[in-house]
Amino acid sequence: MGEVLIDGHLSLPDGVRQRLSLKPSSVVKVVITLTRPDTENTNEAWNVFRSMGRSAEPGILEKSAADHDRHLYGKSAK
């Protein structure tokens, strides 16, 4: 089973690459079947995501929303 990456490429598990002796730029034929995520795992992931900020302490950054890009990425304000 592989995964479609953000850039549209398909990730193959190491075991598949090793078993088929695939090298970078190898050409393979892929048969695609969409697999829906397990609902239980999806719900658990959302529960973890929702709990992430519960124990956060108040921030010390001024204008954190307005200066979001500056604080996270070091970009200067326009």
61 contacts 72 by C-beta, under 8 angstroms: no
Show me where the domains of the chain are located.
1-36
Q: Whole-model pTM?
A: 0.35
Task: Give 44-63 pLDDT, tens digit per residue.
Answer: 888 888 888 777 777 777 88
- Cα 9 vs. chain centroid, distance in angstroms? 14
Tens place of pLDDT for every residue, the chain, 78 residues? 788 888 988 888 889 889 999 988 888 888 878 777 666 677 888 888 888 877 777 777 788 888 888 878 887 766
How far is 12 from 22, CA to CA, in rounded Å?
Answer: 10
Alpha-carbon Rg of the chain, whole angstroms?
21
